[in-house]
Structure 1
Amino acid sequence: DYAQIIGLSLQSNLAQSLPSSALQLVKPLQSEILSNRWLSTQERGALFRTAKELDKNRNGNEKWNANLSINDEENIINQAEDLIKVLHDKKAKSSLVITNNGNMPLYLDFKTQGYSLKPQAESNGIKVKRRYFNLQGDNLNISNIKTGDMVLVHINMTLDKKYSYLPDAMLVELLPAGLELENQNLEHSMKLDEIKIDGKYIYDWTSNTYVKHSEYRDDRFIAALSLSSYKDNDLFYLARAVTPGEFTVPPSLVEDMYRPEIRTVGKADGQMVITEK
């Protein structure tokens, strides 16, 4: 909302004649962005349009002056345009000092990008658990699977009480490379409702879960659903082991499609081992 107000005011002659400028909202907008790691497509679009308006309205001829020190190597900067510096590999760990030598305020945006060697579980408002079974409803050891075996996957999702209800949640289940989904939307597909898990039919497990849409893709199972904090939300899908080998099992991901900061990344399940039958 801050970004939309700033952007519209910069385009309006009437807003520019008012005693207080919408530019005063830049600082609150910055704080809002820093407090939310995940932004929706709409929020990113609003920020992009506002950034373009801010760039058009600044005095492009006014230079700024600063010292940039990387590993004690000094660089004097005196220019009007933005400075973008990208540090790779070992240089990314360098000591970095920026000193403003001018009278105008400078805005610094510093980002790091990388990945952990082992996926880290995280939970912000949603929790997800995953279990594996065979068609008899017995627990399945994923390190001892034969080609042709059916793998029944149970996903349990719980929502934090403070959110009460999420109408637009998305579950994304990336598949280990050795599995292939069995599409439950096909007419002659294997029906799961009569399989018992922990003494309870799958139909009963899923009767309170409202799935709006599901897709059985080559590399993932996707479901758009609503989540309630007053009940467990359960889903099942079926896959077949088709390729022998040892495969990393990706974690489950659940997030709100319009508030992606409400999300969870499940615990990594290690390696799935599939051998020839």
Structure 2
Amino acid sequence: FAVYGTVDEGVIAQPVLAPSDAFVQFGGLDISTSSTALQALSDAVLYLTEYPFECSEQIASRILAVAALRDVLDAFQAEGLPEPDELVKAVQRDIETLQGLQNFDGGFPVWVRGWDSWPFHSIHATHALARAREKAYSVPDGMLSKALDYVRNVEAKYPSWYSRDVRNTLTAYALYVRARLGDVDRARARQLVRDEGTAGLRFEALGWLLYVLTDDPESATEVAEIRRFLNDRVVETAGAANFTTSYREEDGYLLLASNRRADGVILEALIIDQPESDLIPKIVRGLLAHRKRGRWANTQENVFILLALDKYFRTYEAQTPEFVARVWLGDQYVAGFQFAGRSTDYQAVKVPMAFLAEREGSQSLLLSKEGPGRLYYRLGLRYAPTSLEIKPMDQGFTVLRTYEGVDDPEDVRQDENGVWHVRSAARIRVRLTMVAPSRRYHVALVDPLPAGFEALNPALAVTGSIPQDPAEGERTRYWWWRRTWYEHQNLRDERAEAFASLLWDGIHTYTYVARATTPGEFVVPPPKAEEMYSPEVFGRGATDWVKVE
């Protein structure tokens, strides 16, 4: 179990109660601290600067990323990026390239000047020009004026076949870009919320509209509706948060939509609208956990997340950290951590379970900070229960395990007391069912083997062929194209493991085959699923009893 938090000044107190049914030789209280929520972002920026294609959206995304993140990257002295002067020149070249693509109507085509202007690409390119001007890059007045005029009248530019949903989302994005350029139209934003209702608008649209309407007394009703809707739809764990939505094919084609982009858009809006919200650092952690190879999946995800993280940095981490954090447990001093200058390093200490168990009742853990900067902390409790009869638990996952006979269904049966009876030397299919109520990051599914079982590894030549799982159905000629939810698996002597960097919400199955090699009675620890970097998000099945006869 774990809790996360931030300290801007003063002291926080957290009650700590040692479990009464735990071995004192194992586990303890893990306390980790850091001075930033922004781990290295250079890979995401490099992905955009080195992106090999150059349609108007991709050029605009490159401008947005470099312009917005320059302060953050300079502060953390990001490695691997071109020199600052080179980045400035690259942005100016991209602005000139966009100018060469701009059509007479002020909009932007996808590839070639003179082709039809696309509403999304035009709004996005205007957004890039607005951000570049905010960061003091040179943007031609005539170019920006024409682009703004197109965006101001974009609702007249939609092709007749655009759906209402697509039109509403584009209109919200246009209102957001206009607001960044000082051309604020709150009346149209209010009308959009009233006409469609919050449930009728995409998450990105709500984020963009919240940016436009916040702090406007005449828009208080609409702002309250958006806040309430977002609070009802957010999916939270102890350390992370995200907004789950679904997209149709046309959303990817016309809007370049994705869940991570929606999280980025909403994050920026929340920082402006509710800067004290506990959701903000959780969304940041969720987005950072979703990276693969240091970046997100596509140009749109990277740019909107980077824009939101730039806003986060300028709002909460503008001060260079120069502080000392100290930890007490009751009247006992535990540790001190010093942070001087920008760094993505963590500092941590572990309080052994034996120390916690010596004290009766609840104790107060005090965490203080002295000096400028923001302190991020995680308090996590690990313990080993004394009872072998461990009950199922859902703290983010539901996990179920069953055993089946491979060659003969009669080889495996479960009696009325829940004990599994397995014929000696039989092959058994172990079936794990894992339910994730929302998307999870860096997931490990682990199934301990009974001591009398041995996993059959199909990667070894001596194993021979493994019968196909009947639940998978017939293999088609394209069976190899079907992808599993997991990216990697290990079949070890004592356990089976499956791993996924990103696990979508839903029901997921994992199976493997073992052989009953040793007669006897065995206690089998529960199967468990967890987020490896947030182990407090976990789920486990029940303890099983197996008799090999």
User: What TM-score do the two structures reach when normalised by structure 1?
Assistant: 0.58
2: CA distance, partners of 1:87 / 1:224: 33
**Residue 495 of structure 2: aligned partner:** 220
**Residue 429 of structure 2: aligned partner:** 152
Decide whether aligned partners of structure 1 residues 220 and 233 sit closer, same or farther in structure 2, where only a CA change above 3 A counts.
same
Question: Contact 1:172–1:223 (CA<8 Å) still a contact in 2?
Answer: yes
Report the 3-state secondary structure (helix = DSSP H, G, I; strand = E; otherwise coil) of the residue aligned with 1:147: coil
2: CA distance, partners of 1:260 / 1:87: 20
**Residue 39 of structure 1: aligned partner:** none
Query: Any stretches of 5+ residues in structure 2 without a counterpart?
Result: 17-29, 36-320, 336-350, 368-378, 415-419
Are positions 1:209 and 2:487 aligned together?
no
**Residue 131 of structure 1: aligned partner:** 402
CA offsets per residue over residues 51-81 of structure 1, 9 Å max, x none?
x9435xx9xxxxxxxxx9xxxxxxxx9xx96
**Residue 55 of structure 2: aligned partner:** none
Of Structure 1 and Structure 2, the greater strand share is in 1
Question: Contact 1:211–1:224 (CA<8 Å) still a contact in 2?
Answer: yes
Larger Rg, first or second structure (1 or 2): 2
Decide whether aligned partners of structure 1 residues 46 and 185 sit closer, same or farther in structure 2, where only a CA change above 3 A counts.
farther
Are positions 1:182 and 2:168 aligned together?
no
Aligned residues: 207
1: CA distance, partners of 2:512 / 2:432: 8
**Residue 115 of structure 2: aligned partner:** none
Question: Contact 2:401–2:431 (CA<8 Å) still a contact in 1?
Answer: yes
Amino acid of the structure 2 residue aligned with 1:196: P
Cα deviation for residue 186 of structure 1 reads 2.0
Equivalent runs, 1:70-149 vs 2, <5 Å: 86=355, 107=366, 115-117=385-387, 118-136=389-407, 138=409, 140-141=412-413, 143-149=420-426
Report the 3-state secondary structure (helix = DSSP H, G, I; strand = E; otherwise coil) of the residue aligned with 1:172: strand
Question: Contact 2:406–2:467 (CA<8 Å) still a contact in 1?
Answer: no
1: CA distance, partners of 2:441 / 2:366: 38
Of Structure 1 and Structure 2, the greater helix share is in 2
Report the 3-state secondary structure (helix = DSSP H, G, I; strand = E; otherwise coil) of the residue aligned with 2:325: helix
Cα deviation for residue 132 of structure 1 reads 1.0
2: CA distance, partners of 1:224 / 1:112: 21
Question: Contact 1:172–1:220 (CA<8 Å) still a contact in 2?
Answer: yes
Question: Contact 1:179–1:242 (CA<8 Å) still a contact in 2?
Answer: yes
2: CA distance, partners of 1:210 / 1:141: 29
Question: Contact 1:126–1:254 (CA<8 Å) still a contact in 2?
Answer: yes
Question: Contact 2:425–2:516 (CA<8 Å) still a contact in 1?
Answer: yes
Report the 3-state secondary structure (helix = DSSP H, G, I; strand = E; otherwise coil) of the residue aligned with 1:46: strand
2: CA distance, partners of 1:124 / 1:194: 32
Q: 2:510 aligns with which of 212, 217, 235?
A: 235
User: What TM-score do the two structures reach when normalised by structure 2?
Assistant: 0.32
Cα deviation for residue 239 of structure 1 reads 0.9
Equivalent runs, 1:185-204 vs 2, <5 Å: 185-187=459-461, 189-192=463-466, 194-197=468-471, 200=473
CA offsets per residue over residues 12-61 of structure 1, 9 Å max, x none?
xxxxxxxxxx433x42xx56x98xxxxxxxx954369x9x9435xx9xxx
Q: 1:253 aligns with which of 528, 532, 546?
A: 528
Cα deviation for residue 141 of structure 1 reads 1.7
Cα deviation for residue 155 of structure 1 reads 0.9
Question: Contact 1:196–1:202 (CA<8 Å) still a contact in 2?
Answer: no
Report the 3-state secondary structure (helix = DSSP H, G, I; strand = E; otherwise coil) of the residue aligned with 2:487: strand
Decide whether aligned partners of structure 1 residues 82 and 236 sit closer, same or farther in structure 2, where only a CA change above 3 A counts.
closer
Decide whether aligned partners of structure 1 residues 2 and 190 sit closer, same or farther in structure 2, where only a CA change above 3 A counts.
same
2: CA distance, partners of 1:272 / 1:211: 27
Cα deviation for residue 127 of structure 1 reads 1.1
Q: What is the Cα-based RMSD across aligned positions, in Å?
A: 4.5
Cα deviation for residue 188 of structure 1 reads 5.2
